């Protein structure tokens, strides 16, 4: 469902949530990034109802995250292969895994990312491609992009003004 407000429909976060924000979509992408490609593999892994899985795969394919390819003619069977766009979702999954391990595993961590060659557990962080500096909420601000509407520019300015008025910024 597309957001009605222009400032939301042009927001990359809102667009992402519209495309993959549904519970099953993210888990399907997680499993696909782990190597699953076939309907029955996704269904077995997730325990999802076939009609729901079919709808989510159709949406993810229409959104350009999967390519549907026939692998058997009789009966017709398709596999769902990640596109570049789908594979580029991996950092989101890695960030969710790290955040979940940090805040939602009171009984202990059950799943880690590890280097393929070293087997050493990895701690994912988001870094700037140019400087390799970690990107955190403390060292970034939102700025309007070249195609930002006037409404988006006003929204960003208002948020910046509110942040300047917050108690943490008053000395």
Q: What are the pLDDT digits (tens) for 35-47? A: 999 999 999 999 9
Give dist(CA 70, CA 17) in Å, integer. Answer: 29
Residue 171's SS3 state is coil
Does residue 78 carry a pLDDT above 90?
A: yes
Closest CA relative to residue 96, chosen from 104, 88, 86: 104
Query: C-alpha 64: how far from its chain's center?
Result: 14
Q: Name the helix (H) or strand (E) containing 158.
A: helix 150-165
Quick one: fold of 6-88?
A: Arc Repressor Mutant, subunit A (1.10.10)
Q: Using a pLDDT cut of 90, give the percent of the chain over it.
A: 77
Name the residue ranges covered by the structural domains of the chain. 6-88
- The answer to whether 53 touches 39, Cβ cutoff 8 Å, is yes
pTM attached to this predicted model: 0.84
Return the sign of the alpha-carbon dihedral for residues 107, 113, 118, 123: negative
């Amino acid at each position: 469902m597309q957001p009605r407000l222009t400032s939301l429909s042009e927001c990359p976060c809102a667009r992402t949530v519209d495309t993959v924000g549904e519970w099953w979509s993210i888990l399907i992408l997680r499993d696909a990034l782990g190597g699953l490609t076939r309907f029955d593999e996704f269904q077995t892994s997730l325990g999802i109802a076939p009609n729901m899985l079919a709808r989510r795969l159709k949406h993810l394919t229409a959104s350009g995250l999967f390519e549907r390819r026939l692998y058997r003619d009789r009966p017709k069977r398709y596999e769902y292969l990640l596109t570049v766009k789908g594979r580029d979702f991996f950092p989101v999954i890695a960030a969710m895994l790290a955040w979940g391990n940090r805040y939602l595993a009171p009984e202990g961590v059950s799943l880690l990312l590890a280097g393929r060659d070293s087997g050493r557990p990895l701690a994912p962080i988001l870094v700037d491609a140019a400087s390799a500096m970690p990107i955190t909420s403390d060292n970034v601000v939102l700025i309007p992009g070249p195609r930002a509407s006037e409404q988006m520019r006003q929204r960003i300015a208002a948020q910046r003004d509110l942040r300047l008025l917050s108690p943490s910024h008053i000395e």
